Structure 1
Amino acid sequence: MKRTLNHLKPYYIYTLFICLALVACKKELEKTEDNSEKLDNQIAFSTQNKTIQVYTTAKNSDLRLTKTDDLTFKKGVQPKETEISVFVNPEKSFQTFIGIGGAISDASAEVFSKLNKDKQQELLQAYYSKEKGIGYSLLRTTIHSSDFATGSYTYIQEGDSTLKTFSIEHDKQFRIPMIKKAIETAGGTLLTYASPWSPPAFMKSNKNMLKGGTLLPEFYQSWANYYTKFIKAYEKENIPIWGITIQNEPMATQTWESCIYTAEAERDFLKNYLGPTMEKEGLGDKNIVIWDHNRDLITQRANVILSDPEAAKYVWGTGFHWYETWTGGDPMFDNLKAVNEAFPDKKLLFTEGCNEKFDPDKYQYWPNAERYGNSMINDFNSGTVGWTDWNILLDQTGGPNHVGNFCFAPVHADTTTGELVYTPSYYYIGHFSKFIRPNAKRVSTSVSRSVLLSTSFLNEDGKMVTVVMNKSDNALTYNFFVGSEKTVVEIPARSIQTLVY
């Protein structure tokens, strides 16, 4: 026995050597993968020889996306606690940006059709031109009617569960022509997605497109087919559809088109009907967005749907609105962070926001604009990849809206005079949309004082964009640090700035 063990000793040593070598290789591989992850989170950026262009919009001034300064960097020194500072760390990057835009609803398209050709062109360029406007790159539209239309309608005859009468002829009068012009003005590409407000009345428990109700189980398949019919019909009109949301505001019983889904109902409709149907119809590459409602209940909805692998596999991300403040509370930005932390492989998309209760005396009401700035900065810093305003255009009544739910848009048209009214909200949105382009990466940014808000993105062309908002009634001076370099910036009271460098 002793002789046999001595005979095998070289083989044991050789085997041990091989095992140790494999362990070492595994550790090196893991180290390389860790470094790759770190590199993915880092971006090459230098402030060397960079000039900072500053654009400003301010209350009680004529500054509207106006270039107000050219600054240069110098070596930074330790800031004091008594100084106000903004810190950008280019070595840490996060989500990839997909775009900013607004909705072309029936109301927007109907108002647009009443403008003369010159004003139509002005509006299109104001929104969709990167040079002459604010460069919108994202578009939402509706699957048949919402409240922002002159009346309710669907694409089928009532009772047609087979969808044999399906037709988007209604949309060809106003909405589709406007969308096509928007795409053309944007340079031929505009990421477009669509949302339904309600299934047809016969498919619902209350037999009414308005006032809530639920989708009846016997029509789950028919309603799933409806989405695919819509996508194919719009793409036949040369309007590529990037994706869909399952239901606009699925927990709100509204006086207008609405439909209620519990989290479990939305999950089951998605995994058993909508997801498989999209794949079967060759539309598996389209993106499906869940929730499409306020930030207050977003975590519960995400937990229920995204924790189910059979449902989650169909989900691109979670959409949300900003109206949770109707209960009297503050915006729930931390809920976005909770969803992002729990489901980092899924995206966050702001799908709708507008200032409610239209009042023509408040066209230039500054808090309306600040609501946009506050939401956009906090949403992006919470992981949001895209941001979509509601109607891009409404008339002098805040409509048309067939149930009297009149609201603000960033731009209004007075159809009696033919003039366009640009509100401060338009310019606040523009401080982001004009300068931050699709595929930009968000970069770590923080502030030393709560009166300022800030976020930063690095565009594909190598230009960094930092947005800074001053919520206070005082003009301020702040240190602007990018890595170890700094400059000093003056920002007016109640204003927003974009720094491009």
Structure 2
Amino acid sequence: MKNFIYYFSCFVLCINSSLISAQKVDFLNKKIQVYTTSKASDLRLTETETLSFQPATQPLETEISIFINPNKVHQTLLGIGGAITDASAVIFDGLSAAKKQELLNAYYDVEKGIGYSLLRTTIHSSDFSPESYTYVEEGDADLKTFSIAHDKEYRIPMIKKATETAGGAITLYVSPWSPPAFMKTNGSMLKGGKLKPEFRQNWANYYAKFIKAYEAEGMPIWGLTIQNEPMAIQTWESCIYTAEEERDFLKDYLGPTLEREGLGAKKIVVWDHNRDLMVNRSNVIFEDPEASKYAWGTGFHWYETWTGAEPFYENVNRVNEAFSDKKLMFTEGCIEKFDASRYQYWPNGERYGEQMIHDFNNGTVAWTDWNILLNQNGGPNHVGNFCFAPIHADTTTGELIYTPSYYYIGHFSKFIKPGAERLSSAVSRSVLLSTTFKNNDDSLVTVVMNKTNENISYSVYIQGAETTVEIPAHSIQTLVY
């Protein structure tokens, strides 16, 4: 018996050793394509050089290095994309046929553009709608007048064209900004207020009707967030939920309703607000087993800096550590306070690069920008909350304006595909930021960002191989190998 155990143990050890050997890649035979976007040049997602790996030497403290361990795997990417709002759809509708196709290619075509794979849209109106509206007549609690006819004019056609350009499938999720006015304590869709308790079931039914109506139009809905920014009393559509109120609405109404309606497979995302309070919201909801069973994960935004604080990237990791069975999704971010003189303001792009790298390195599986298209005034927006988008359309000239943000997002979305796994990586100096993913085709993608005023030479180390790369000041690079 002892001999059998000994030989069986050796057999298992040999099998495991073979698997480890099979997984080891000879990076010395790999070429590295380098793509660069740089402030002080016309480089925009431009392939700038092809490099080779050399046998690695001991890194020095005087060098700037990136260390990648392909055997340590973290989260799997769901997708990267942006929101098609009413504002985006209305502006899109006014473009020429050629510019419409240019915009679709720019976002959704992997070869011609940056390959968006994720799409958010709203359940009736948000601030980025020309006006407030719902899908029912005022006072219709039974939802007998429910209709998405409004969306069929602009928004649904654009979503369908985006999906077609993306290859016929895209991960689509939806978010409400406010229940109808008659369901709320303040009698208005605007300026906060709360969902009246007596309308909680009616409001849950509303989600189900919306999902079914969109899917009847041939647009599969992957999931939904419960409420956009549930702790912000905004001048536009908004609704307040405490953590306990959102928990109870989820477990007593929304979750059971979607299950009864045959929609139990839809992914429900809680919070959908800034990083500052996301730990509290996750604690309250996920530690309640009856609520947690309906929740896929936590959504978050980047606007916590409105208080003057720095971004709370560490809170993303706190939730990831505490609830490893739940997912993390960045659901909205944009450059606030539109100013046409800052279309090419480089720090706007760098804000995207920095946020995306930190969020991915802290466990985020999906990353969603806000409006994909706005006009030359940062709208339309029915309360004057004008913002930037990665691409603007000048409706007087019909031209599209590409901002640095578009290219910074593209350094991720064009190369890191859905299903990619994030690999363990670390940078030896704070002057650089970096993250690395492995695609399903086994290609590796390393994104490197330099916010400093100096050109930087850095080395990439992976499994006994190294290469040296030069990154210009205020640049972002993607290495594909």
Structure-2 residue corresponding to 1:495? 475
SS in structure 2 of the partner of residue 384 of structure 1: coil
CA distance in 1, matches of 2:24, 2:400: 43
* Structure 2 counterpart of 1:361, one-letter code: S
What are the Cα deviations for residues 16-56 of structure 1, in whole angstroms up to 9, with x where unaligned?
Answer: x9xx9xxx99xx8xx99xx89xx99x965441411000000
State whether residues 125 and 133 of structure 2, in contact with CA within 8 Å, keep that contact through their aligned partners in structure 1: yes
Equivalent residue in structure 1 for 2:272, among 274, 281, 292: 292
Task: Output the aligned Cα RMSD.
Answer: 1.9
Equivalent residue in structure 2 for 1:158, among 134, 138, 143: 138
Structure-2 residue corresponding to 1:332? 312
Taking the TM superposition and a 5 Å limit, the aligned residue runs for 1:97-108 are: 97-108=77-88
Taking the TM superposition and a 5 Å limit, the aligned residue runs for 1:316-465 are: 316-465=296-445
Does residue 138 (structure 1) correspond to residue 136 (structure 2)? The answer is no
Equivalent residue in structure 2 for 1:270, among 250, 253, 277: 250
Equivalent residue in structure 2 for 1:168, among 130, 142, 148: 148
Structure-1 residue corresponding to 2:226? 246
State whether residues 100 and 138 of structure 1, in contact with CA within 8 Å, keep that contact through their aligned partners in structure 2: yes
Structure-1 residue corresponding to 2:448? 468
Structure-2 residue corresponding to 1:185? 165
* Structure 2 counterpart of 1:79, one-letter code: P
CA distance in 2, matches of 1:472, 1:465: 22
Equivalent residue in structure 1 for 2:63, among 83, 86, 99: 83
SS in structure 1 of the partner of residue 365 of structure 2: strand
Equivalent residue in structure 2 for 1:209, among 183, 189, 194: 189
Q: Would the alpha carbon gap of residues 238 and 308 (structure 1) be closer, same or farther in structure 2, given more than 3 Å must change?
A: same
State whether residues 376 and 394 of structure 2, in contact with CA within 8 Å, keep that contact through their aligned partners in structure 1: yes
SS in structure 1 of the partner of residue 283 of structure 2: helix
CA distance in 2, matches of 1:378, 1:63: 24
Q: Would the alpha carbon gap of residues 45 and 400 (structure 1) be closer, same or farther in structure 2, given more than 3 Å must change?
A: farther
- Superposition TM-score, scaled by structure 1 size: 0.92
Equivalent residue in structure 2 for 1:310, among 284, 290, 305: 290
State whether residues 43 and 93 of structure 1, in contact with CA within 8 Å, keep that contact through their aligned partners in structure 2: no
Does residue 200 (structure 1) correspond to residue 184 (structure 2)? The answer is no
CA distance in 2, matches of 1:346, 1:189: 24
What are the Cα deviations for residues 54-87 of structure 1, in whole angstroms up to 9, with x where unaligned?
Answer: 0000112100000111000010101111111111
Total equivalences in the alignment: 473
CA distance in 2, matches of 1:50, 1:158: 63
* Structure 2 counterpart of 1:392, one-letter code: I
What are the Cα deviations for residues 113-138 of structure 1, in whole angstroms up to 9, with x where unaligned?
Answer: 11000000000000000000000000
State whether residues 157 and 165 of structure 1, in contact with CA within 8 Å, keep that contact through their aligned partners in structure 2: yes
What are the Cα deviations for residues 203-252 of structure 1, in whole angstroms up to 9, with x where unaligned?
Answer: 00000000000001100000000000000000000001000000000000
CA distance in 1, matches of 2:23, 2:255: 36
- Superposition TM-score, scaled by structure 2 size: 0.96
CA distance in 2, matches of 1:330, 1:458: 30
Higher mean C-alpha displacement, 174-183 vs 48-57: 48-57
CA distance in 2, matches of 1:95, 1:301: 22
Structure-2 residue corresponding to 1:8? none
State whether residues 45 and 90 of structure 1, in contact with CA within 8 Å, keep that contact through their aligned partners in structure 2: no
What are the Cα deviations for residues 375-420 of structure 1, in whole angstroms up to 9, with x where unaligned?
Answer: 0000000000010000000000000000000000000000000000
State whether residues 28 and 52 of structure 2, in contact with CA within 8 Å, keep that contact through their aligned partners in structure 1: no
* Structure 2 counterpart of 1:495, one-letter code: S
* Structure 2 counterpart of 1:130, one-letter code: V
CA distance in 1, matches of 2:424, 2:450: 19
State whether residues 378 and 389 of structure 2, in contact with CA within 8 Å, keep that contact through their aligned partners in structure 1: yes
Structure-1 residue corresponding to 2:53? 73
SS in structure 1 of the partner of residue 321 of structure 2: helix
Structure-1 residue corresponding to 2:90? 110
Equivalent residue in structure 1 for 2:37, among 54, 57, 70: 57
Structure-1 residue corresponding to 2:207? 227
* Structure 2 counterpart of 1:468, one-letter code: V
State whether residues 28 and 55 of structure 2, in contact with CA within 8 Å, keep that contact through their aligned partners in structure 1: no
Structure-2 residue corresponding to 1:92? 72
Q: Would the alpha carbon gap of residues 44 and 321 (structure 1) be closer, same or farther in structure 2, given more than 3 Å must change?
A: farther
CA distance in 2, matches of 1:45, 1:460: 15
* Structure 1 counterpart of 2:430, one-letter code: S
CA distance in 1, matches of 2:24, 2:137: 57
Q: Would the alpha carbon gap of residues 305 and 82 (structure 1) be closer, same or farther in structure 2, given more than 3 Å must change?
A: same
CA distance in 1, matches of 2:86, 2:290: 35
Gaps of 5+ in 1: 1-16
CA distance in 2, matches of 1:339, 1:206: 33
Structure 1 residue 483, shift from structure 2 partner: 2.1
CA distance in 2, matches of 1:207, 1:284: 31
Query: Which structure would you say has the larger Rg?
Result: 1
CA distance in 2, matches of 1:106, 1:488: 46
Q: Would the alpha carbon gap of residues 439 and 45 (structure 1) be closer, same or farther in structure 2, given more than 3 Å must change?
A: farther
SS in structure 1 of the partner of residue 381 of structure 2: coil
CA distance in 1, matches of 2:24, 2:88: 42
What are the Cα deviations for residues 253-304 of structure 1, in whole angstroms up to 9, with x where unaligned?
Answer: 0000000000000000000000000000000011000000000000000000
Structure-1 residue corresponding to 2:128? 148
